[in-house]
Amino acid sequence: MYNNQKVIVIMPAYNAAATLKRTYEEVMDQKIVDLVIVVDDASGDETAQIAKALPNTLVHTHPKNKGYGANQKTCYRLALEQGGDIIIMVHPDYQYTPKLIPAMASMIGNGLYSCVLGSRILGGYALKGGMPNWKYVANRFLTFTENLLTGAKLSEYHTGYRAFSRELLQKIDLDQNSDDFVFDNQMLAQILWAGHTIAEVSCPTLYFEEASSINFTRSVRYGLGCLLTALQFRLARMGLLNSRRFRKD
């Protein structure tokens, strides 16, 4: 609990057997997490079995692989059903340190923000942590373009370390978003569209063999999807596009 609010950590998992337990243990070391939810997207390893052995953990397994975005949709639905007031996504591959959970929870739990991101760019941690140069350049280009089109001033849109208030998750129609990796980007665009300020904290990040990563081809597809989302946002704001994702009240 934080400030009498239930804190739930969600972990969208796929082939995370090598790092899941380590990530979980550091999550629980933060002392404020009431429940961990692991959604296994039909992994080919022992991810689900390892998760089921962890205390204070709810495990849900997709019978077939649905994609990263679909995994998150299940995670958020389950977190709301379990009464989460502060919901924090931590990838189970140990790329993002769970030690920032108390800081992110406090920003949500004290009513300062409804969305907080752990940014790899603030503080220059991305390259220090081993982010490939091509990914760093792509991140900076996409972020610059997205800020230009959305009017926001985020240091990055592409982190998987995120915290949300219950009220915000109930307000955003996540079903309008992709089941693939671009879901992350579309969700942030929806939050900006709804008029919320997105906070950021500097987050050290580790890149190593077991950490999950998408290949170059899927990265290109993701990047194009991000640019399309930002363009749709701008056109909808200008009244030139009717979009189910960016609807006028």
For residue range 170-218, what is the model confidence (pLDDT) as tens digits?
A: 999 999 999 999 999 999 999 999 999 999 999 988 765 555 566 778 8
Residue 110: pLDDT band by 50, 70, 90 thresholds?
A: very high
pTM of the model: 0.94
CA atoms within 13 A on the CB side of 122: 15
For residue range 170-180, what is the model confidence (pLDDT) as tens digits?
A: 999 999 999 99
Q: If DSSP codes are grouped into helix, strand and coil, which group holds residue 107? A: helix
Map out the domains of the chain as residue ranges. Answer: 7-237
For residue range 30-73, what is the model confidence (pLDDT) as tens digits?
A: 999 999 999 999 999 999 999 999 999 999 999 999 999 999 99
- Amino acid 180 reads D
Query: Does the pLDDT value for residue 132 go beyond 90?
Result: no
Cα distances (angstroms) measured from residue 52 to each of 48, 58, 59? 6, 8, 6
Q: What is the CATH number of domain 7-237?
A: 3.90.550.10
Stated as kind and residue range, the H or E segment containing 39 is strand 35-40
Structure tokens at 201: 């904290």
- Which residues does 25 contact at the CB level (< 8 Å), separation at least 6? none
- Residue 58 confidence (pLDDT): 98
User: Where is average pLDDT lowest: 8-17, 205-214, 216-225?
Assistant: 205-214
Contact 89, 75 (CB under 8 A): yes
Q: SS3 string of 71-103?
A: HHHHHHHHHHHCCCCEEEECCCCCCECHHHHHH
For residue range 146-179, what is the model confidence (pLDDT) as tens digits?
A: 999 999 999 999 999 999 999 999 999 999 999 9
Cα distances (angstroms) measured from residue 90 to each of 12, 36, 220? 8, 10, 24
195/125 Cα distance (integer angstroms): 29
DSSP annotation of 122 reads G
- Residue 130 confidence (pLDDT): 78
8: burial class by Cβ within 10 Å (0-12, 13-18, 19+)?
buried
Stated as kind and residue range, the H or E segment containing 117 is strand 115-119
Average pLDDT of the chain, as a whole number: 94
